[in-house]
Amino acid sequence: MTQGASSKPVLCTGAYSFADKSLGDMIFPSIADFSRLTALIKERKKTHDRRVIIKVDGMVAIITGGGTGIGQMMAKALANAGAKVYILGRRASVLEAAAVMCDVASKESLQNAVDLLTSEVGYVNLVVANSGIMGPYTSYDSTLSIHELRTRLFDHVSMEDFTDTMHVNATAAYFTILAFLELLDAGNKNALKGGFGRPREEGSKVPLVQSQVIVTSSICAYSREKATAPAYGASKSAITQLAQHAATNLAPYQIRVNTLAPGFFMSEMAEPIISVRDPETEGIDHPDFMPARRFGTEEELAGTILYLASKAGAYCNGAIFNFDGGRLAVVPSTY
């Protein structure tokens, strides 16, 4: 110690300070530092609580095609975790509470849904673009002669049916993203005011959970196996690319875009696919068909959507979540 120097620490806000800088090896944190550290520890404990991390209390979510199948499973998962869920669909017979009649293949119908949501809540935190159709389930078959194959694919499938599949699964999903951009932006602004997704630190200009679009694609977007319906696979490849493109170009607006590529879950869409399989070689319980040897479960789908929608997945943007029980690992694919 230098003769005559004071060893008494001087408390300050922010960095550490000393009356004599020659005592730099003796660091004493300030009261303000202890206070911030205590608050951080409490926040971390709260954040790591499994009961809190995937809750979505206060979230406003929209799901297109949420009346049946995996859309309905996702809607239930979000609602049970605290979200206010609006289900958009064109079939009144399958819609439930908080349902909004909407044909996503119509810009006018999409705008009507936007107007309704604007008047009722004024913002949206999550849009799940889930509507889709199977389209013509006519695929390649190497057991046919070239003449038979041409007849099967050319004569038995109309261009209108093929194009309609692309229109619903890609074009309509893309315009669904665009239709709700202003409401998604309003969701971020509401978060900054203390709503769902509010910043972790007071004064931050960026929500902890930024507004998000989740697009439902399919493993068929990557599958090259002969049984994949060309129209359906092409449409899902298209919307996957559009979602990736949107993720990059909406990032400056703090709007995230992620993609789900599910495999086989019990739904209306999966039924015709499974029904034409050879039970001897392509049954669900056959390891060459599905390493998991089963369908995906509602709990697994719920876990995936809640991860992405909540704080747990708030760092994800531009991601593609393939969850298919290993299906793409055992068939020709581009994933």
CA 277 to the chain's CA centroid: 30
Return the pLDDT at 264. 86
Based on the number of CB atoms within 10 Å of its own CB, is 143 exposed (0-12), middle (13-18) or buried (19 or more)?
exposed
Our answer to whether residue 86 is catalytic in this structure is no
Instruction: Give the pair of three-digit tokens for residue 124.
Output: 């949206």
Return the pLDDT at 25. 46
Our answer to whether residue 137 is catalytic in this structure is no
Return the pLDDT at 283. 63
Return the pLDDT at 289. 75
Set 232, 235, 310, 333: catalytic member: 232
Return the pLDDT at 19. 44
Based on the number of CB atoms within 10 Å of its own CB, is 166 exposed (0-12), middle (13-18) or buried (19 or more)?
middle
What is the fold, at CATH topology level, of the domain defined by 56-329? Rossmann fold (3.40.50)
Return the pLDDT at 227. 86
Pairing status of strand 99-101 against strand 84-89: parallel
Q: What is the DSSP letter of 333?
A: B
How large is the greatest C-alpha to C-alpha distance in the chain, in angstroms?
Answer: 103
Q: How far apart are CA 131 and CA 110, in angstroms?
A: 13
Return the pLDDT at 26. 47
pLDDT tens per residue across all 335 residues of the chain: 445 444 444 443 444 343 444 444 445 556 666 677 776 666 665 556 666 788 899 999 999 998 888 999 999 999 999 999 999 987 554 445 567 889 999 999 999 999 999 999 999 999 999 999 999 989 999 999 999 999 999 999 999 999 999 999 999 999 999 999 999 999 999 999 999 999 988 889 999 999 999 999 999 999 998 889 999 999 999 999 999 999 999 999 999 999 999 998 876 666 666 665 665 656 666 677 778 878 888 899 999 999 999 999 999 999 999 988 888 888 888 87
Set 109, 217, 223, 310: catalytic member: 217
Return the pLDDT at 23. 47
Residue ranges of the domains in the chain? 56-329
For tokens 């319980």, the residue is 285
Return the pLDDT at 276. 59
Return the pLDDT at 99. 77
Return the pLDDT at 45. 59
φ, ψ of residue 303 in degrees (nearest 5): -60, -40
pTM listed for this prediction: 0.80
Our answer to whether residue 310 is catalytic in this structure is no
Return the pLDDT at 291. 82
Set 109, 218, 235, 236: catalytic member: 236
Return the pLDDT at 294. 82
